[in-house]
Amino acid sequence: GLPAAPILCSDTTVALGRTIYGKPADAADAARMLRELSGATHRVLTAVAVQNGRRRLAALSTSRVTFAALTAAQIRRYVDSGEPMGKAGAYAIQGAAAAHVPSLSGSYSGIMGLPMYETAQLLRACGFSI
């Protein structure tokens, strides 16, 4: 019984080479992901889509994030904080993990999970005033 409204969705994945990192299954999985990302530059891919009636538009934000080399103790403390759980690649750029990121390029909001520039572009294309 609700009036028709647009639907907005997005999802993020982390990729190191050909390896895809989704959300960790548990603390051990989070620690494994962080060990593999440690000292490396990886891609963060966030897709966003808008469905407005029969019209569907989508965009992809691609960013690069470099992690400093992490010690086993740093990884353990970060995993013990609980922050990696539910996060693609087992980290949240807007949280404590930022202390281990010397550089990034691309969309900060895309790394967080909703690329605002791309989202605004899609909403404008659907006729919404931003």
- φ, ψ for residue 24, nearest 5 deg: -70, 145
**pLDDT tens-place string over residues 58-93:** 999 999 999 999 999 999 999 999 999 999 999 999
Q: Give the integer Cα–Cα distance in Å for 43 and 104.
A: 10
| Residue linked to tokens 């470099």 | 66
Q: What is the pLDDT of residue 30?
A: 98
| Spans of the chain, pLDDT less than 50 | none
pLDDT at 25: 98
Is 80 designated active site?
no
**What are the CA-CA distances from residue 29 to residues 11, 75, 81 (Å)?**
20, 12, 14
The active-site residue, picked from 11, 26, 29, 80, is 11
The one-letter amino acid code at 125 reads: A
Beta strands per DSSP E along 67-107: 103-105
pTM of the model: 0.91
